[in-house]
Amino acid sequence: MDLAILWFVIIAVLWTGYLVLEGFDFGVGMLMSILPRGDKEHREKERRVLVNTIGPVWDGNEVWLLTAGGATFAAFPEWYATMFSGFYLPLLIILVGLVARGVAFEYRGKIADAAWARRCDLAIQAGSWIPAVMWGVAFGNLVRGLLLDADHQYVGGFWALLNPFALLGGLTTATLFLLHGAVFVALKTDGDIRRRASRLASGLSVVTLVVTGGWAVWAQVAYSVPWTWGAVVVAAGCLAGVVVATRARREGTAFTLSAVTIVAAVVLIFGSMYPDVIPAVDGGVALSVADASSTDYTLTVMSWVAVFLTPVVIAYQAWTYWVFRRRLSTRDIPAPAGLSWQKIKDAAF
């Protein structure tokens, strides 16, 4: 049971890493049509600046999701089976969005064609907005609980997942990631786009404080336990700090505070679920940490693997961020390179 609790905490940490790092990736993608200004050529340069801020790191950030999913499968196979079967359609929608976004990132600069760039931008935006909302809906349902039968199969149906609490959770993650992305852009860029990102983050911080505060208090009062009030207070204090830091143009402080807000949100979510991995609702059967976990031998082997490999992964990712730490601006954007659709057609036919 002790190892099961340990791995419940480890999975929460893995989700924290994913949501903090991929959260600003989503935010940057969501800003693709909001932040750029100026004539057509200048807007294109600013969109390329946005893509380049996360270009070296976005795929590494997604590894945290793969690790969280793999750890859940190995440590809590019944949780994995119940959650992935019950959330099949929402998770499929998220997966399609992530795939479309990844392809657009990789292939946007391969062809120097305005129509091609617009299609890739749409894919990046859709692949950012959709997961940003759907992850909040999914976690909202895990906090609220699912209708499971005696075999721990979800029997509530798709539309039951779109309840008011979960939908507010989706709005919460969307606004939180949008703020996180705006602060990241202000931290990683220079020039006009930096100033616009700072102003946008300043306004978003107030909206995010209201939306996130409403969802967190609802979750705490209706579904959580007393000690997680601490997470609610930390999140509220950090978001209030983001309001002050963005107006003072202290991007590093604002980014740190927005990241801590996401950490506090994960603490609230997993603290509300425990001692279950899926709480019960409407007279259903809860799935507890103990019932969902693998054998002690499996968890022991996993623990030794995590002890040796996790520091290597963290060190490598930290080194990547250090190498690509410089601010970017439109001055760093070279002239478009690559083939146009017309050249491809001429070469083929």
pLDDT digits (tens, 9 = 90+) for 244-301: 999 888 999 999 999 999 999 999 999 999 999 999 888 889 999 999 999 999 999 9
Instruction: State the pLDDT at residue 12.
Output: 96
Number of CB atoms found within 10 A of residue 49's CB:
25
- Average the pLDDT over 318-326 and give the result: 92
Could you report the per-residue pLDDT of 250-262, keeping only the tens digit for each?
A: 999 999 999 999 9
Segment holding 278, helix H or strand E: strand 276-278
Domain regions of the chain by residue span: 2-281
Could you report the per-residue pLDDT of 231-244, keeping only the tens digit for each?
A: 999 999 999 999 99
Q: Dihedral, CA atoms, 50, 257, 209, 222, nearest 10 degrees?
A: 120
User: The tokens of 267 are what?
Assistant: 């603490």
Could you report the per-residue pLDDT of 160-208, keeping only the tens digit for each?
A: 999 999 999 999 999 999 999 999 999 999 989 999 999 999 999 999 9
Work out the pLDDT band at 69, boundaries 50, 70, 90: very high
In degrees and rounded to multiples of 5, residue 294 shows phi and psi of -75, -175
14-18, 123-127, 153-157, 302-306: range with lowest mean pLDDT: 153-157
CATH 3.50.50.100 fits 2-281, yes or no: no
Global pTM value: 0.93
CA torsion sign for 270, 271, 273, 275 is positive
38 by DSSP, 3-state: which? coil
108 by DSSP, 3-state: which? helix
Instruction: State the pLDDT at residue 1.
Output: 54
